[in-house]
């Protein structure tokens, strides 16, 4: 069963609301969630915040965090998840930031580096991945993994 269908089955009976902050995935997560009929019952929406300015203004990420750690970091993805949860009045905030490629990588932050964050009243967690695919593959793997991690969280509640 697709992760987005499992998310619907896990969120709907609990009455929980989800919000998503996307950077490198550019809306793929929101697209997959809204492919499920009835998703408006639990999905508040997404913020696609690609630029630093958007992360600051729309998600409440601090300039200090971006300057000290960069957009692709544990610190930033947690602020993104927390910010989208608060701004869209959701119970759970899910966020993704990464370097999809083919350019943009550096020795300490290679192409394919992705951080996924989750913010809920009982937990704030972040996971680091480095994908080895092309741009489209890296984006798809990031979206799929973010949805899987959300399912894992919801099943563990």
Q: 156 pLDDT band (50/70/90 cuts)?
A: very high
Helix, strand or coil, per DSSP, at residue 116: strand
pLDDT score recorded for residue 91: 98
How many domains does the chain divide into? 1
Domain of 64 in residue numbering reads as 3-156
Give the end-to-end CA distance of the chain in Å, rounded to a whole number.
Answer: 20
Asked if 80 contacts 23 with a C-beta cutoff of 8 angstroms, the reply is yes
Amino acid 107: pLDDT: 86
CATH number at residue 21: 3.90.950.20
Q: Is the pLDDT of residue 1 over 90?
A: no
In whole angstroms, give the CA distance from residue 69 to residue 73.
6
With CA atoms as reference, report the closest residue to 96 among 38, 56, 140: 140
Report whether 80 contacts 29 (CB < 8 A).
Answer: no
Summarised one tens digit per residue, pLDDT across range 61-114 is 999 999 999 999 999 999 999 999 999 999 999 999 999 999 888 888 999 999
b vs e for 143-156, b when ≥16 Cβ sit within 10 Å of the residue's Cβ? bbbbbebbbebbee
pLDDT at residue 157 above 90?
Answer: no
145, 32 Cβ separation under 8 angstroms? no
pLDDT of residue 122: 95
Tokens standing for 135?
Answer: 């741009």
In 3D space, the residue among 15, 22, 43 whose CA is nearest the CA of residue 146 turns out to be: 22
Helix (H, G, I), strand (E, B) or coil at 65: helix
Q: Helices then strands (H, E): number in the chain?
A: 6, 5
pLDDT in tens, 104-144: 888 889 999 999 999 999 999 999 999 999 999 999 999 99
Spell 64-85 as b/e; 16+ CB within 10 A means b. ebbeeebbbbebbbbbbbbbbb
């Amino acid at each position: 069963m697709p992760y987005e269908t499992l998310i619907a089955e896990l969120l709907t009976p609990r009455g929980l609301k989800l919000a998503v902050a996307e950077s490198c995935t550019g809306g793929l997560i929101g697209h997959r969630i809204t492919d499920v009929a009835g998703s408006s019952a639990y999905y508040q929406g997404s913020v696609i915040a690609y630029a630093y300015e958007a992360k600051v203004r729309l998600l409440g990420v601090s300039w200090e965090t971006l300057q000290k750690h960069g957009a692709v970091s544990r610190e930033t993805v947690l602020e993104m998840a927390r910010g989208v949860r608060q701004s869209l009045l959701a119970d759970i905030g899910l966020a993704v930031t990464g370097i999809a490629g083919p350019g943009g990588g550096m020795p300490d932050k290679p192409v394919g580096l992705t951080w996924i964050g989750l913010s809920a009243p009982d937990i704030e967690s972040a996971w680091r991945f480095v994908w080895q695919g092309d741009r489209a593959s890296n984006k798809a793997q990031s979206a799929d993994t973010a949805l899987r991690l959300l399912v894992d969280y919801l099943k563990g509640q």
